[in-house]
């Protein structure tokens, strides 16, 4: 009997090796190599090219870009205006975050026929969820199947405008001996779905699970294959969920969609600033409001800081929703440029609402929140603080300043502290006091 040949594939990036290796030489992750069978490649294929296979770009008939709307505003925004026919969208996220809920709600609102293929739940479970989400779904057909060949048969038979495959990890091609969920199966199934989408002009949404490192299994391979990669994320203890584009061939990757999870499903959050500030204690030290731009939208957020004396030599620094290294830099700047003795203090920082921000424009608000709690002085609660802080303690200008100021004025704030260099570009007529600051010490005087 012929022995099956075995290879080892990194479940993170798809790197292949004939021997088992502890650390992947490509993506440097540990313990990710899994055993897979080497699939025999069929040889002797023809390489004859017929005339119609190569055409001039100028002769190409351009079909109008008519997108299929999910009619969920936040979802459509992240997609760049809706689903592009013939494209494949991958939605990844932690287990239980609400991926199936999101796609089911989208399916119910799409005006065209939708085929929902599930390999994870029974038709009964799906209908129970649909009932809970109050989804009627006359246009939704359900298929409980994991065999890709049968799924493709179903798609060809029904010819729906949108197909949802939940999830790619349970889908398998029987031609391959590898188990479902292995890198080979995931890649082959995705490639085949991609080809089908291009040929039949339907949009396919693929749901994918995230590995413990926070990556979609086999991300390097899948990211290249699919047109759009969306990440559905959120802190489990909060009800807010954020849909973020990591890659989008048909739209910007800066847009985010914000949802709130309720008993009856996900609800869109169209006024995020109001929601994120709703629970703010205006009379607590260490609380400062800032404005972050997410995609094209300004969102007001509350930065909270707690500074306590450290009884041991090694003070703790904990950041939730903000980059830990950036916090360390800001603490060093506060110590050196504003003379705050923070090196013997524990510092805890939190962006309220379970949101994550990566924008330097929130630096100044973070510094003010830490200084406020450390010196036990209230930050003015009618003020929004905006600005990037440099290593020299200078406050640097930020982009989209007018949008940020408008949002602050809209929510009833009376005052906004902004980088001095931004002042000359501001032409707003909003009724709000604008204070320009050049450096950190001056800003602290204006805010505290
Ligand atoms: N009966 C319920 N009442 C309220 N919320 C519920 C109920 N059932 C589920 N949920 C919410 O929906 C979430 C699960 O949603 P969903 O099944 O869409 O997640 P998922 O990302 O598809 O999960 P999986 O990784 O298991 O496929 C739960 O975490 C919970 O917040
Ligand atoms: Mg699910």
For the chain (length 448 residues), average pLDDT per consecutive 10? 73 84 86 80 68 74 76 92 93 89 93 92 89 86 93 94 92 85 86 93 90 57 86 80 88 83 90 80 88 85 93 86 93 94 93 84 95 93 93 94 90 92 85 92 92
Fold (CATH) for 67-269:
Rossmann fold (3.40.50)
Ramachandran assignment for 82, one of left (phi > 0), alpha (psi -120 to 50 degrees), beta (any other):
left
Write down the pLDDT at residue 87: 93
How far is Cα 51 from Cα 329, in angstroms, rounded to an integer? 61
Write down the pLDDT at residue 65: 66
Q: Say if residue 268 is exposed, middle or buried (CB neighbours under 10 Å; 0-12, 13-18, 19+).
A: middle
Ligand 1 atom with minimal separation from the 232 CA: 21
Cα-to-centroid distance, 203 and ligand 2 (Å): 19
Mutate to test the pocket of ligand 1, among 92, 101, 129, 133 (most ligand atoms within 8 A of CB): 101
Write down the pLDDT at residue 274: 80
Cα-to-centroid distance, 112 and ligand 2 (Å): 22
Measured in Å, how far apart are the chain's first and last C-alpha atoms? Answer: 80
CATH code given to domain 274-447: 3.30.230.10
Q: Where are the domains of the chain?
A: 6-37, 67-269, 274-447
Same fold, 67-269 and 274-447: no
Cα-to-centroid distance, 410 and ligand 1 (Å): 35
């Amino acid at each position: 009997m012929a022995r099956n040949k075995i290879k080892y594939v990194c479940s993170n990036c798809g790197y292949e090796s004939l021997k088992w290796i502890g650390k992947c030489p490509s993506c440097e992750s540990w313990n990710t190599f899994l055993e897979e069978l080497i699939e025999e490649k069929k040889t002797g294929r023809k390489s004859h090219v017929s005339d119609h296979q190569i055409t001039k770009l100028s002769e190409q008939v351009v079909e109008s870009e008519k997108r299929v709307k999910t009619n969920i505003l936040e979802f459509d925004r992240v997609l760049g205006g809706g689903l592009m026919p013939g494209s494949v969208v991958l939605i990844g996220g932690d287990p239980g975050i609400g991926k199936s809920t999101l796609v089911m709600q989208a399916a119910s609102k799409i005006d065209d026929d939708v085929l929902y293929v599930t390999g994870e739940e029974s038709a009964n479970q799906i209908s129970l969820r649909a009932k809970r989400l109050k989804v009627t779904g006359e246009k939704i057909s359900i298929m409980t199947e994991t065999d890709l060949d049968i799924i493709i048969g179903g798609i060809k038979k029904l010819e729906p405008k949108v197909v949802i495959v939940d999830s790619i990890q349970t889908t398998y091609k029987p031609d391959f001996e590898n188990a479902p969920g292995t890198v080979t199966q995931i890649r082959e199934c995705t490639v085949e779905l991609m080809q089908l989408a291009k040929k039949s002009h339907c949009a396919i949404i693929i749901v994918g699970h995230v590995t413990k490192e926070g990556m979609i299994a086999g991300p390097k391979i899948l990211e290249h294959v699919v047109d759009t990669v969306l990440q559905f994320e959120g802190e489990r203890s909060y009800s807010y969920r954020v849909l973020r584009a990591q890659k989008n061939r048909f739209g910007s990757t800066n847009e985010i969609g914000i949802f709130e999870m309720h008993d009856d499903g996900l609800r869109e959050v169209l006024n995020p600033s109001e929601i994120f500030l709703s629970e703010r204690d205006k009379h607590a030290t260490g609380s400062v409001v800032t404005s972050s731009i997410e995609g094209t939208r300004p969102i007001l957020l509350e930065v909270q800081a707690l500074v306590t004396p450290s009884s041991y030599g090694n003070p703790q620094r904990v950041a939730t929703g903000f980059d830990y290294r950036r916090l360390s830099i800001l603490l060093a700047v506060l110590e050196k440029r504003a003379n705050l003795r923070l090196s013997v203090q524990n510092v805890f920082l939190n962006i309220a609402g379970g949101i994550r921000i990566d924008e330097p424009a929130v630096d100044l608000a973070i510094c003010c929140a830490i200084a406020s709690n450390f010196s036990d002085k209230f930050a003015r609660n009618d003020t929004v603080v905006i600005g990037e802080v440099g290593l020299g303690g200078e406050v640097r200008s930020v982009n989209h300043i007018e949008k940020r100021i408008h949002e602050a004025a809209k929510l009833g704030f009376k005052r906004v502290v902004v980088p001095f260099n931004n002042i000359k570009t501001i032409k707003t007529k909003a009724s709000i006091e604008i204070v320009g600051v050049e450096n950190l010490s001056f800003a602290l005087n204006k805010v505290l």
